Amino acid sequence: MQAKLLDIFGRLRAILKRYEDPLRPKFDLEGKYDLWSFKEVEIAGRKRREVFFASIIIQSRYVGLYFMPVYAEESLKEFFPERLLKLLKGKSCFHVKELDEELEQQTSDALERGYRLYVERGWI
């Protein structure tokens, strides 16, 4: 794995780790990390025992940040700065190829907003 991608992964992992209590990982590996809420909830009429929050995985040319809150509530994108929004590919995956302090802060802010959304909905 590229040293640059490992660095990006490590920095994003550190941000996600802040939410590890009450969220918990299923995978905490060198190139893959995720967070889940293990709480029985009902979403769109379906009972669930767990709810996916976010994950990061090292791909060949970027670190993928999969961020489920933006999938659950598309209006979250309205609060993302344009620079962060440009990294969004598809509905909920950000392709992170570079990570400076500004982008790191924008990512941190987006994760916090998504976490608060989950708390408000009772999913955490």
Give the distance, in angstroms, between the CA of residue 5 and the centroid of all CA atoms in the same chain.
16
Give the residue-averaged pLDDT of 3-23: 97
Mean pLDDT taken over the chain: 95
DSSP H stretches of helix in 1-124:
3-17, 68-72, 82-85, 101-120
Domain positions in the chain: 3-120
**Distance (Å, rounded) from C-alpha 123 to C-alpha 116?**
10
Of the pLDDT bands very low, low, confident and very high (cuts 50, 70, 90), residue 44 is: confident
Give the residue-averaged pLDDT of 34-50: 94
**Distance (Å, rounded) from C-alpha 121 to C-alpha 47?**
14
- Is-contact 94 67, C-beta < 8 A? yes
Give the residue-averaged pLDDT of 40-55: 94
pTM for this entry: 0.94
- Is-contact 33 14, C-beta < 8 A? no
Of the pLDDT bands very low, low, confident and very high (cuts 50, 70, 90), residue 1 is: low
